[in-house]
Amino acid sequence: MIENLMNEERPRERCLSRGPQCLSLRECIALILGSGPRGLGCMGVAGSFLERVAKGMSRDEEEKAYFLTLEGNFQNQFQGIKGLGVAGKAKLLATFELGRRYALYKEASKLNQLPKKRGKHYPEMAFDRVSLELRCESKEWLGFVPLYRSGKLGEFCLIERGVRSHVNFDPVELFASVLALRPLGFFMFHNHPSGDINPSQPDFELTKRVTEVSQHLGVQFLGHGIVSSTEERWVVV
């Protein structure tokens, strides 16, 4: 219980005097919640939540499990934790969303500081059409960028969103959207939320499949790109 600690040992006082980086994840969660039921307190509620999502893990693994819980199916993890009501759940989710938006802001700032490339070609320009927000998505998605006969590169078109590890892909939906724009060709993209942009075997198979269909339909398939929050690459078959 926080009231049993000396003033200088309490999370709020340490946060203000030494900075928030000195706090454990449990203490950060407790400060966000602010209060808890008698005999348990906000530290007890925070401990119960972490016990649910990250029991026996190291500090780094505990933080990863916590963030993944808030990214994913958090409702199941919230159920049945004494003292964690709707207000506490909303506080945790809102704080996580602030952190997510700050991460996007920092990443955008880094990109803006990079020297601008001159004389970009279509593949580079196509990657630029994939926004930072899409690159940082926690679930996989699939989309494309059209290249028109005028030589103009179109905007990114999102076709499907999936789950963390894959996206269910229907070629009919992809080519229906592509052909509706009547382009000369198109670049296809999908993301890897894990950050590992190495193509998987299904990625190679998807590239071959789309190549075959595009040849039958007479539209140029110009490349299949994989992106993450910080990296990008083409799938070469």
3-state secondary structure the chain: CHHHCCHHHCHHHHHHHHCHHHCCHHHHHHHHHCCCCCCCHHHHHHHHHHHHHHCCCCHHHHHHHHHHHHHCCHHHHHCCCCCCCHHHHHHHHHHHHHHHHHHHHHHHHHHHHCCCCCCCCHHHHHHHCCCHHHHCCCCCEEEEEEECCCCCECCCEEEEECCCCCCCCCHHHHHHHHHHHCCCEEEEEEECCCCCCCCCHHHHHHHHHHHHHHHHHCCEEEEEEEECCCCEEECCC
**Per-residue confidence (pLDDT) for residue 146, from 0 to 100:** 95
- Structure tokens that stand for 15 in this block: 């946060």
**pTM of the entire predicted model:** 0.62
The domains located in the chain, with CATH, are 2-110 (no CATH), 122-234 (3.40.140.10)
- Structure tokens that stand for 18 in this block: 């030494």
**Per-residue confidence (pLDDT) for residue 73, from 0 to 100:** 66
How far is residue 182 CA from its own chain's centroid?
A: 32
Sheet architecture: strand order including 185-191: 157-161, 141-147, 185-191, 220-227, 232-234
Return the residue matching tokens 């994840």: 25
**Per-residue confidence (pLDDT) for residue 129, from 0 to 100:** 94
pLDDT averaged per 10 residues, the chain (length 237): 65 89 92 89 90 85 86 75 90 90 77 54 93 90 94 92 70 89 95 91 92 93 94 90
Alpha carbons 93 and 32: distance in angstroms, whole number? 10
Which of 148, 134, 149 lies closest to 227, judged by CA?
A: 134
Tell which phi-psi region holds residue 103, choosing left (phi > 0), alpha (psi between -120 and 50) or beta.
alpha
